Amino acid sequence: GNKGLCVIAGNISPIDVITHVPILCEEADIPYIYVPSKEDLANAGATKRPTCCVLVLTKPTKGEIAQDEQEKLKGDYDQVASEVSELANSMF
């Protein structure tokens, strides 16, 4: 039920682990993009474990953040989500 931006690692093996994720994203109208490696995705998420996909949410699931910080993050998120959507549209 959460909306956000899905980032999927491209070097997952076996690929069957993530083949359903783009379909779910499209059905839920969630923009998604692939990155080259699960290790890079893990580093970006500040974890040591390789990560197959990440959903970047528009607001925190726990705790609160200041209103001005929330507006800045929302603006940054909207820009990135728009760029990802444009990339996907230019491919088809």
> Would you identify the CATH topology of the domain 5-91?
60s Ribosomal Protein L30; Chain: A; (3.30.1330)
Q: How far is CA 27 from the centre of its chain?
A: 15
- pTM: predicted TM-score of the whole model, two decimal places: 0.81
Q: Span 76-80, mean pLDDT?
A: 90
Residue 28 is given by DSSP the state T
**Residue 91's pLDDT is what?**
67
Q: Quick check: 87 and 33 in contact, CB under 8 A?
A: yes
Q: Quick check: 73 and 65 in contact, CB under 8 A?
A: yes
Residues 34-70 have pLDDT tens digits of 999 999 999 988 888 888 999 988 777 777 788 888 8
**Residue 8's pLDDT is what?**
94
Q: Quick check: 55 and 6 in contact, CB under 8 A?
A: yes
